[in-house]
Structure 1
C-alpha cells in the first residue's frame, strides 16, 4: 500500500471532480488524510544558486529579519522578481536564464517563504512585505529598477509603486504586474479556506507539505495539467522549516483582510510605466480584473498570454520573459 496515498489521489483526481471540490474549498480536507495514512517526505538536494541573506529591520524597528535573495547577471538595468502567495525564488527559475543575459536580476523570498526568516510575530500583511522590500531596494542601492510581481507579489509591487509616486524617490523606473489581485474580486478559494479560524490550522498541521504545495499547483494551472513533481517538491520544502506553515496561514489571513478599495483611488495617480501580463484562462484573478486595472492606471498596457492560467512563469516562460525584457529595455 503506498505511504503517500493522499498525494496520489490528488495527482490522479479527475478534473471535473477537482473543480467541484475547489469551488467549495473541500479539496483541502483531503490533506487530513495525510495524518492518518502518512506521507513520505521527499526532500530534494539544495539548488546551486547564487544566494545570500540580507539583514533588515523587522516591523518593530528593533529586531532583525533576514530575507533570502538570489543575484544573477553582471550588466544591464536591474530587475527585481517578487513571487506570489506560497511561492519562492524557485517560481522564477524558468525565466531567470532568459533575463540575466542583458540584466542584473535580483530574486527575493518574501518574509515567511522560501529560505527567508519565518518569525512567529503575526506581521505578514502586504504592508509588512512592502516595508521590507523598500529596505531591500535601499540596501542593494538599486536604481532604474524594474519591479516584477506575480499574484500577491504583484500587489506588493503596486503598493511599492504608489509609495514611490508619493515620495518621488525615483528608484523604481517601471512595474510589471503578473496577475496581481489589485481590485475588488472574490477571494481565491485556497486563500479563503486557509483564513478560516481553527479549521485551517488543523488542516495545515495535518497535511503533508507536498500535498499543500500540490493543491496550490493544481489551482494555478489549467484544468487537465499534469502536476510537475519537482515543482511541487521544491515549493513544499519551505513548509518543513520552523514557522513555514504559520507564515502561510498568517499571510492568507492578512490577504483576506486587505481592502483593495482603500488603495484603488491611488492607482489613478500612479505615473509609473506599468505592464500588466495576464493569462487568458486565469480563474484566480480573472482577466476582467486586468482590463479594469488597465483602464484605471494612467500609464499602463495589457498583454495577454494564451494557454495558461495563474502561473505563466511555468507554462509560458519564454513569452513572459520576452514581455518583461522588452518592457524593461
Structure 2
C-alpha cells in the first residue's frame, strides 16, 4: 500500500511540476513588497482569431495602463491571474495586456491537438496583427516564454517591428529542459486518472508546493484562484495536451538554429534554485540566442514573480527602459 501511495504521489508531482507554476502567491514568504499607487481594474475583453485550417478560437485578455505596449503570456496551468502582482507595477508606465492562451483561463478550450508552443504562437501572432500592436515587449513565464520566442518567428511577425523586445522567465524553450520526473506525463492514461482522482484544490496545493520549493502555508484565496478553472473537464484536458507537447518535443539543435534568427534583445531571467526548469536550461537558452542577457535571481524557485517580485520587476523595468 505504501508503494502504491508513493507512486500516485510521484505522478501527481509530475503533473505539478509540468505546470511550471500553476500557482502564485504564498503569504508566508518573506518578501519585500513595494506598495504601488492605486490602479484601475483591468478591463476584460474577448477576441476571435482565425487560424488557417482550423475553427476560429476566442481568447480572453485583460488590459490596463497606458504607454508602450507589453504583452504578458502565462505558463502552463496558469491564466491572466498569474500576473496580478506584476501588472499594477508595469502599468504605471506601460500599456499592459495579459492574455489567456488557448485552453487556459477564460479562453476557448477546443478538443484538438494544437496545443504546442508553435500552435500558441500562431494565435499570439494573430492577436498582435488583429489588434495592430507594434513595438511590443513580450514577457513570458515558463511555457509562455517559449511561446513568446516562437511568436517572434511566426508568419506576419518575423522581420517586422511588431515585437521590440522579449523577456523569458524560467522557460523550457529547448527540448529536454525540464526535470526528468515530468516525463511521467507521457505515460498513457495514468496522468488522466490522477487528474480525475485529485480535486482541483488538492492539485493546486501540490503544484504550489512543487513550484515554490516545498512551501506549505498557502493562501486559500490563491488556491481557489488557480483551482477554479480546472473544475471544467475541458480545462484539464487542455492542460494535459499542452504538457505532453512540452515533454515530447524533440530536435534541440533544429530549434536552437531557429532561435538564431531572433534579432530582438532577449532578457532571460532564471531562479538559481528552479526545480522545474533547472538553471542549466537557462544557460543553454541564453547561449542559443544572438542577443540575450541572462539574469539569475537568488532566493526563489520557479515563481520569481511571487517569491522575488521586486527583483523581477526591477529587471523587467531596466530592460524595458533600454
The correspondence of residues 69-80 of structure 1 with structure 2, limited to 5 A, is: 69-73=61-65, 75-80=66-71
The correspondence of residues 108-187 of structure 1 with structure 2, limited to 5 A, is: 108-163=99-154, 167-185=158-176, 187=178
Match of 2:213 among 222, 234, 258: 222
**Runs of 4+, deviation exceeding 6 Å:** 20-23
TM-score (norm 2): 0.83
Shift of 1:27: 4.3
SS of equivalent residue, structure 2 residue 270: strand
Higher relative contact order, chain-length normalized (CA < 8 Å, sep 6+) = 2
Moved more, 317-326 or 109-118: 317-326
Question: Are residues 1:301 and 2:293 paired?
Answer: yes
SS of equivalent residue, structure 2 residue 168: strand
Shift of 1:268: 2.5
Q: Which residue of 2 aligns with 1:94?
A: 85
RMSD between aligned residues: 2.5
1:198 and 1:67 map into 2 onto residues whose CA distance is: 29
Aligned residues: 291
Q: Which residue of 2 aligns with 1:203?
A: 194
2:320 and 2:153 map into 1 onto residues whose CA distance is: 19
Where structure 1 has 5 or more consecutive residues not aligned to the other structure, the ranges are: 1-19, 31-47
Change in 2 beyond 3 A, CA 1:233/1:193: farther
CA contact (8 A) 2:169 2:269 kept: yes
Moved more, 249-258 or 109-118: 249-258
Shift of 1:250: 0.8
The correspondence of residues 1-329 of structure 1 with structure 2, limited to 5 A, is: 24-25=10-11, 27=13, 49-58=42-51, 60-61=53-54, 63-73=55-65, 75-163=66-154, 167-185=158-176, 187-188=178-179, 191-224=182-215, 226-261=217-252, 262-329=254-321
TM-score (norm 1): 0.81
CA contact (8 A) 1:118 1:243 kept: yes
CA contact (8 A) 2:270 2:297 kept: yes
1:296 and 1:272 map into 2 onto residues whose CA distance is: 13
Change in 2 beyond 3 A, CA 1:205/1:272: same
CA contact (8 A) 2:13 2:207 kept: no
1:189 and 1:157 map into 2 onto residues whose CA distance is: 24
2:283 and 2:13 map into 1 onto residues whose CA distance is: 30
